């Protein structure tokens, strides 16, 4: 199953990550068609890229979406909590 699970309501709990928190991308992230100016399927971030949470939004009134600014690539990508991890 993809990222959407109809039985899961993540926003009933506080966000896992905080704004300005340093995080690492856990898997290759590709444009699913929601990133303007890039082709669908184009790599936006690679596993291991480091960035900072710059904002926290929601998706489908169920999930948190963490906007992660990856300085090395100069992009801000939206991530689910499963796609990032804390950098100590």
Residue of 1, 3, 2, 23 lying closest to 63 (CA atoms): 3
pTM summary value: 0.86
Q: What is the pLDDT of residue 53?
A: 98
pLDDT in tens, 21-74: 999 999 999 998 888 999 999 999 999 999 999 999 998 889 999 999 999 989
DSSP character at residue 12: G
- At 1 the pLDDT is 41
Residue 47 backbone phi and psi in degrees, to 5: -55, 130
**3 falls in which pLDDT band (50, 70, 90)?**
low
Mean pLDDT value across residues 5-29:
90
The Cα–Cα gap between 37 and 55 comes to: 21
**Tokens at 22, concatenated:** 């340093």
What the chain holds in terms of domains, given with CATH numbers, is: 10-86 (2.30.30)
């Amino acid at each position: 199953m993809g990222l959407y699970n109809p039985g899961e309501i993540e926003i009933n709990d506080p966000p896992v990550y905080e704004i300005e928190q340093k995080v690492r991308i856990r898997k290759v992230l590709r444009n699913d068609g929601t990133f303007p100016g890039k082709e669908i399927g184009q790599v936006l971030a690679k596993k291991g890229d480091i960035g900072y949470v710059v904002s926290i939004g929601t998706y489908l009134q169920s999930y948190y979406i963490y906007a992660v600014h990856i300085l090395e690539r100069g992009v801000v990508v939206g991530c689910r909590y499963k796609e990032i991890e804390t950098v100590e």
